Amino acid sequence: SPSNKTEYYVKTDRLLNCYHPTRRSSTSVKFPPHETFCKMVFRTTLTAAIMAYATAFAPPQMVSKTSISLNAAEMSESMPFLIRPEKLDGSMIGDVGFDPMGLTEIQVDLKYSRWAEIKHGRVCMLAIVGMLWQEYGPHWEGAAYATRDVLAAPGSVGTGVNLQILLGIGVLEMANFNAHYGDDTEPGDYGLDFGFLNNRTPEQVLFLKEAEMKHCRLAMGAFMGAFAQTILFGKLLGEVPGY
């Protein structure tokens, strides 16, 4: 390095002017002394570090208790880590805010959806019991009812029996078609309780309705699992696949 600092700065200035044409001028750039430059950098760095450290002791932003309570109330009861859907306000029986796929956001009328849920649940309750009965229960006499294969049973009984089932379901659906959209009817109420709800308190009726919804949802899952097992392994529900 040159022994003379002045000569060092002059050479450095000429070198910068050589590689940066925009800086070429008759006036040489005056660089501060090396010690002064180091002190400036050190002071700037120290000041920035002190300011960053001081922010740790700054008072936190005040969050209103109202917003905290509101956020807690909006969380789903069934899935506390998700926001409760807006339409699932708890007014329907069995509503615990479960809608991870956001289906309620595209539903115009949740009452119609509740009708569909109850229907599917009731059908699945009958279906899972029917599958077990088909495989292990007693059958009517005749070759048409002898099979224990739940997938072959609809074909073995013939067209007439299937038409009877379809006709019965169709009549029930047509008789209650307007109830799906009426405001004065409760989803799933066909008026066929056969006196089971007589002489019961409103709390008992509510408990039974919630129990029905739980059984409906459980049956839908059970039927899909039983159906998948039957297709994949071709064994009875009580048999362990692979044995």
CA distance 75 to 23: 63
How many CB atoms neighbour CB 128 within 10 A? 21
* Dihedral angle sign, alpha carbons of residues 64, 68, 73, 75: positive
Instruction: Give the C-alpha separation, 238 to 235, whole Å.
Output: 8
Cβ neighbours around 115 below 10 Å, total: 20
Side chain identity, residue 21: P
- Phi–psi pair at 180, nearest 5 degrees: -70, -25
What are the pLDDT digits (tens) for 105-159?
888 778 888 888 999 999 999 999 999 999 898 988 888 888 888 888 888 998 9
pLDDT tens per residue across span 30-43: 545 555 655 565 56
CA–CA distance, 50 with 200 (Å, rounded to integer)? 73
175-196 pLDDT per residue, tens: 888 777 766 778 888 877 778 8
pLDDT, position 11: 54
Residues 6+ apart with CB under 8 A from 151: 230, 231
> The whole model's pTM is what?
0.63
Question: Nearest-5° angle of CA 37, CA 39, CA 44?
Answer: 100
Distances (CA, A) of 22 to 2, 18, 183: 27, 10, 81
Q: How far is CA 202 from each of CA 206, 207, 214, rounded to the nearest angstrom? A: 6, 9, 18
Alpha carbons 32 and 53: distance in angstroms, whole number: 30
